[in-house]
Amino acid sequence: MPRSERAVAVCPGSYDPVTNGHLDVIRRAAGLYDEVVVAVVNRSVRKNAAIFPIEDRVGFIERAVADLDNVNVEAFSTLVVDFAAEKGARAIVKGLRAISDFEYELEMNQLNRRQNPEVESVYLMASPQYSFLSSSGVKELATFGGKIDDLVPEEVAQRLQEQVER
């Protein structure tokens, strides 16, 4: 794959829901790359069915990063390395919080490199205030009435509360 003049990165995830930790990684990646494509997976073999439909997850992120001109949000349903190559990206950017993230991401990195060695995996360490934060933790807190308004965008907090009250 020929090198692009612009440095493009893909930030993949299920973003169900997007958290302030996700947004921190996206914003930091936007400062490192000319273009960042936030790739919202439309189906996942790793996790349970999404609580929010793909259109909502894409919309939440689009509104949260509307101030970033070099960030686009798209749904995808392919291998992330194939999606990255399609977008001209040479990097897949992910956040790492703990050793458990590292173990999973190491495996994914090795599998992705076998599929397309031209696409590198780049990891950003979680900012300290988000090192504990996960979508599954936010969903659990919301389910049991916990405080989540400082963990996710306001719109997401409201919609998640509505979802769990059903």
Residue 13 lies in a domain: yes
Residue 163 lies in a domain: no
Q: In this predicted structure, what is the pLDDT of residue 3?
A: 52
Residue 145 lies in a domain: no
Shortest CA distance to 152 belongs to which of 131, 166, 165, 133? 133
What's the pLDDT tens digit per position in 60-74?
Answer: 999 999 999 999 999
Residue 158 lies in a domain: no
38 near 31, Cβ under 8 Å? no
Domain containing residue 77: CATH number: 3.40.50.620
Q: How confident is the model at residue 4 (pLDDT cuts 50, 70, 90)?
A: very low
Residue 138 lies in a domain: no
**Max alpha carbon distance in the chain (Å)?**
51
Question: Domain range holding 22?
Answer: 8-131
- Model confidence at 1: pLDDT above 70: no
What's the pLDDT tens digit per position in 72-126?
Answer: 999 999 999 999 999 999 999 999 998 888 999 999 999 999 999 999 999 999 9
What's the pLDDT tens digit per position in 35-68?
Answer: 999 999 997 666 578 899 999 999 999 999 999 9
Residue 150 lies in a domain: no
Sheet with 91-96, side-by-side order of all strands: 71-76, 35-41, 8-13, 91-96, 120-125
61 near 38, Cβ under 8 Å? yes
Residue 83 lies in a domain: yes
Q: How many domains does the chain have?
A: 1
Q: In this predicted structure, what is the pLDDT of residue 165?
A: 80
Residue 95 lies in a domain: yes
What's the pLDDT tens digit per position in 150-164?
Answer: 999 999 999 999 988
Residue indicated by tokens 């996960």: 134
